[in-house]
Amino acid sequence: MLADIRKLVQQTLPRSIDVYADVPDSLWPVWGDATQLHQVFMNLCVNARDAMPAGGTLHITAKNLTLDHDSAQRHFQAQPGPYVIVTVADTGTGMGPAVLNQIFDPFFTTKALGQGTGLGLSAVLGIVESHGGFIDVQSQVGQGSQFQVYLPATFEPNPAAVTLPNLLDGSQSTVLVVDDEPAVCAAVRTVLELHNYRVMVAHGGQDAIALLSEHVDTIHTVLMDLMMPTMDGFATIPLLKHINPDLRVVAMSGLNSVDAVAKAEQQGFQGFLPKPFTRQDLLQRMQPVD
Ligand SMILES: Nc1ncnc2c1ncn2[C@@H]1O[C@H](COP(=O)(O)OP(=O)(O)OP(=O)(O)O)[C@@H](O)[C@H]1O
Ligand SMILES: [Mg+2]
């Protein structure tokens, strides 16, 4: 796969960018979804290109590494064991700490309107984590950036025997997302699907009621915007609960006041997700509370 990526990148990046790849034949095997992993590395290479408008160098390197207990502890939720590390490094603009802190958040972009959705890296992280891996980033303004993708190596011949640690897994449960903004629906869908949820989308209260009536046996959770034109979240919730009294409905809103949260709870919402939210906030809020 990395040989393919290298070829593709060499053919598509501007001539002003030199591409080097150092990928040994002795890499350990990684089990994964080839389409998704391809997307991970292409996203990183495209970001690197965008960071080098005046040209520069892109390095794609890979190596094997066994993480011992101590080094695993330095990475959030990492398990000790064998990993393949793929590094995508550029000599571009680099990033300061304020940008670095937000790069994995859905919608975070420093690109001009219409130039970037800000969903690239949130999808990258979602995919890597769903493969049991994690990402390290080093960058400084003016010094370029380095993204290290750690993927657990697997010597087990049967992939079914591999259990990936994923604390925020959706276990194929269905979530109905209701928001009048298509971009919000799309972002939420990307994140949830990467974490093994099935997602249905409605763009307003009426749509939501129609979808729930049709799929009352499969939809157990609804994530609904409070502020929508025509029929808002408060007007919709009693009708949804009428169809299924046990439905779990989580409110999302940019109105993040104590009053708004209290009102939502009073009206029968089982949770509140203030906008804007991070991938982690969203996944945590989707987990059943016990
Ligand atoms: N290699 C890099 N060098 C410098 N900044 C980067 C690099 N990769 C990501 N960034 C910063 O992180 C932000 C978020 O990246 P992300 O890929 O999520 O979205 P995007 O590239 O802006 O939009 P999209 O991927 O949807 O086209 C970028 O806007 C940029 O500010
Ligand atoms: Mg991007």
For the chain, which residues make up each domain, given as ranges? 2-161, 174-286
Q: Rounded distance, CA 43 to CA 135, Å?
A: 14
Segment 165-183 mean pLDDT: 84
* Minimal-distance CA residue to ligand 1 atom 4: 94
Nearest to 51 by CA among 14, 23, 87: 14
Residue appearing with tokens 């629906």: 185
Closest ligand (CA of 87): 1
For a substitution probing ligand 1, which of 47, 108, 115 has the most ligand atoms within 8 Å of its CB?
47
* Minimal-distance CA residue to ligand 1 atom 7: 47
Residue 114 has pLDDT above 70, yes or no: yes
CATH class of 2-161: alpha beta
47 CA from centroid of ligand 1 (Å): 5
Nearest to 225 by CA among 245, 209, 243, 202: 202
Residue 164 has pLDDT above 50, yes or no: no
103 CA from centroid of ligand 1 (Å): 7
Segment 45-54 mean pLDDT: 96
172 CA from centroid of ligand 2 (Å): 27
- Provide the edge-to-edge strand list for the sheet that holds 145-152: 17-22, 56-67, 81-90, 145-152, 134-139
For 20, the 3-state DSSP assignment is strand
CATH number of 174-286: 3.40.50.2300
Read off the pLDDT of residues 183-234 as tens digits, 9 standing for 90 and up. Answer: 889 889 988 988 889 999 999 999 999 999 999 999 999 999 998 888 899 9
Q: Rounded distance, CA 160 to CA 85, Å?
A: 23
Of the listed ranges 62-66, 143-147, 264-268, the one predicted with least confidence: 264-268
Q: What average pLDDT is seen over the chain?
A: 89
For a substitution probing ligand 1, which of 42, 91, 99, 103 has the most ligand atoms within 8 Å of its CB?
103
Q: Rounded distance, CA 276 to CA 253, Å?
A: 8
pLDDT at 190: 87
For 25, the 3-state DSSP assignment is coil
pLDDT at 73: 82
Q: Which atom of ligand 1 is nearest to the CA of 121?
A: 18
